[in-house]
Amino acid sequence: MASAKPNIKVLRYRDLLREMRQRGQPGYRAQQVYQWLYQKAVLDFAEMSNLPKTLRQELAEAYEIGTLRVLQRAVSRDGTVKFLLQLPDGHRIESVLIPEGKRRTVCVSSQVGCAMGCAFCATARLGSTRNLEAWEIVEQVLVAQRHLWEVGDPRPVTNVVFMGMGEPLLNLPAVLQAIRILNSDHGPNIGARKITVSTVGVVQGIYELAGAPVQLKLALSLHTAIQEKREQIIPLARKVGLKDLKRALFTFYLQKRRWVTLEYIHLPGFNDTEEDIRALQRFLGDMPAKINVIPYNPFPGGPFRAPTEEEFQDFIRRLRRLPYTVTPRAPRGRDILGACGQLALHQVRLESVKPVVYTPDSPPA
Ligand code: SF4
């Protein structure tokens, strides 16, 4: 049941500053509260030990510290952790923690479900319910950080990618506000260049992002450079042609001086022909580009199959004839329904079936 008290995390830093002044406190108290909330990720005002006891009590009477309920935490054999999280209004989202070397990357959701309807995506089956608020996006990173501390990993979350449920550029104000918090010195302090926003091609959003005063990275889910094929798998492509997309990418480059990464899911037999490779070269031209190629991660009832290792390696070999950086990406967390939206879909469809969940205390054999 929703609490009657407001959530302190909906306050922006300047609101918190005003709040402290109204309570007769010096301005640095706002900084301290902010650090406790976003750097130390505490869930109880009593833990804010450098605040006067009376202030802690006042804050506890006036506010609650909002968080997301962890319904399920599935740990893959490859170390990937998938969280099924419940929002205060009962909706469910997913986020994924990917430990890799020194990096701790969190893949966050920006919406509950997604309205874009991409054929290869499990989240699309959920439809769209609502945009997430900025604090609900940030909290996914804090949930992952608390998990790392809990399992004895002292490293901070280093990277954030907006590649979970939802199209982030359709929720841009909250996404930008979340990025400001994640990037803040008093918050998790994640470098803007370590934050990637991934879009399926919301051109207006790309222009807005290009003009935003933050040096983040942009990834475009391209998946094919043949217009007709793109329209088959991404409904938005029926409104946004490849030319418009390229113009927007180029504008982003001119503003940020950062090339866009292209995400290309390998759908065997659909987007891996010689014609597809030629179309990719025509689309990119002399634009230096980084292409991440990801083997498709199928979900029950989905229309595509995963490539075999041989098919995938052959496709990578052929793509590498092009003058771009081609990076094969290993699929993560396949044993825990790794594709985004799968866990929530699984819960929605198979409510009565208990999925296999590995916990840090009982790792898979
Ligand atoms: S791929 Fe992204 S934009 Fe497309 S349906 Fe899935 S979450 Fe939405």
What's the pLDDT tens digit per position in 219-251? 999 999 999 999 999 999 999 999 999 999 999
106's CB contacts (< 8 A; 6+ apart) are 95, 96, 97, 98, 140, 141, 144, 157, 159, 160, 161
Q: Is residue 354 part of a domain?
A: no
Q: Is residue 331 part of a domain?
A: yes
Q: Residue 298: pLDDT band by 50, 70, 90 thresholds?
A: confident
Compute the distance from residue 53 Cα to the ligand 1 centre, in Å: 46
Please give the average per-residue pLDDT across 20-30, as a whole number.
96
Any ligand 1 atom below 6 A from CB of 167 = yes
Give the residue from 19, 35, 62 where a domain finishes.
Answer: 62
Alpha carbon of residue 342 to chain centroid: 15
Q: What is the span of the domain harbouring residue 53?
A: 8-62
Same-domain check for residues 166 and 298: yes
Ligand 1: atom nearest CA of 221 is 1
Residue 350 has pLDDT above 50, yes or no: no
Same-domain check for residues 90 and 194: yes
CA-to-CA separations, 12 to 7, 184, 251, in angstroms, rounded? 11, 12, 30
- CATH code, 18: 1.10.150.530
Ligand 1: atom nearest CA of 164 is 7
Give the residue from 47, 62, 77 where a domain finishes.
Answer: 62
Q: Is residue 2 part of a domain?
A: no
Same-domain check for residues 58 and 73: no
Question: Are β-strands 128-131 and 159-162 bridged in parallel, bridged antiparallel, or unpaired?
Answer: unpaired
Distance separating alpha carbons of residues 242 and 226, to the nearest angstrom: 8
Same-domain check for residues 249 and 314: yes
Same-domain check for residues 149 and 204: yes
Please give the average per-residue pLDDT across 70-93, as a whole number.
91
Least confident of 81-85, 288-292, 332-336: 332-336
- CATH code, 92: 3.20.20.70
Q: Dihedral (C-alpha) 248, 250, 254, 260: value to the nearest 10 degrees?
A: 100
Distance separating alpha carbons of residues 139 and 68, to the nearest angstrom: 7
Same-domain check for residues 79 and 27: no
Tokens standing for 234? 């991404």
Same-domain check for residues 216 and 238: yes
What's the pLDDT tens digit per position in 107-124?
999 999 999 999 988 888
Tokens standing for 191? 């470098």
Please give the average per-residue pLDDT across 266-273, as a whole number.
96
Same-domain check for residues 113 and 168: yes
Ligand 1 atom 6: the closest Cα is on which residue?
121
Same-domain check for residues 166 and 35: no
Same-domain check for residues 51 and 130: no
Any ligand 1 atom below 6 A from CB of 280 = no
291's CB contacts (< 8 A; 6+ apart) are 261, 262, 264, 280, 319, 324, 325, 326, 327
Any ligand 1 atom below 6 A from CB of 123 = yes
DSSP conformation class of 6? P
Q: Residue 337: pLDDT band by 50, 70, 90 thresholds?
A: low
Compute the distance from residue 312 Cα to the ligand 1 centre, in Å: 22
Same-domain check for residues 54 and 82: no
Ligand 1: atom nearest CA of 117 is 5
Mean pLDDT, the chain, as a whole number? Answer: 88
The model carries a pTM of: 0.90
Q: Is residue 355 part of a domain?
A: no
DSSP conformation class of 7? B
Question: Are β-strands 290-295 and 261-266 bridged in parallel, bridged antiparallel, or unpaired?
Answer: parallel
Compute the distance from residue 273 Cα to the ligand 1 centre, in Å: 24
What sign does the dihedral 109-115-121-125 (CA atoms) show? positive
Q: Is residue 323 part of a domain?
A: yes
Q: Is residue 338 part of a domain?
A: yes
What is the percent of the chain where pLDDT is above 70?
A: 90
Any ligand 1 atom below 6 A from CB of 124 = yes
Looking at residue 354, its pLDDT comes to 35
**How many structural domains is the chain composed of?**
2
Alpha carbon of residue 310 to chain centroid: 30
Compute the distance from residue 253 Cα to the ligand 1 centre, in Å: 23
Residue 21 has pLDDT above 70, yes or no: yes
Give the 3-state secondary structure of residue 183. helix
Closest CA to 106 of 85, 129, 130, 128: 85
Same-domain check for residues 330 and 208: yes
Compute the distance from residue 56 Cα to the ligand 1 centre, in Å: 42
**Residue in the structure block whose two tokens are 């040096």:** 215
Q: Is residue 149 part of a domain?
A: yes
* Residues 355, 296, 338: CA angle, nearest 5 degrees: 25
Q: Is residue 1 part of a domain?
A: no
Residues serving a catalytic function are 94, 340
Residue among 109, 167, 171 to mutate when testing ligand 1 (max atoms within 8 A of CB):
167
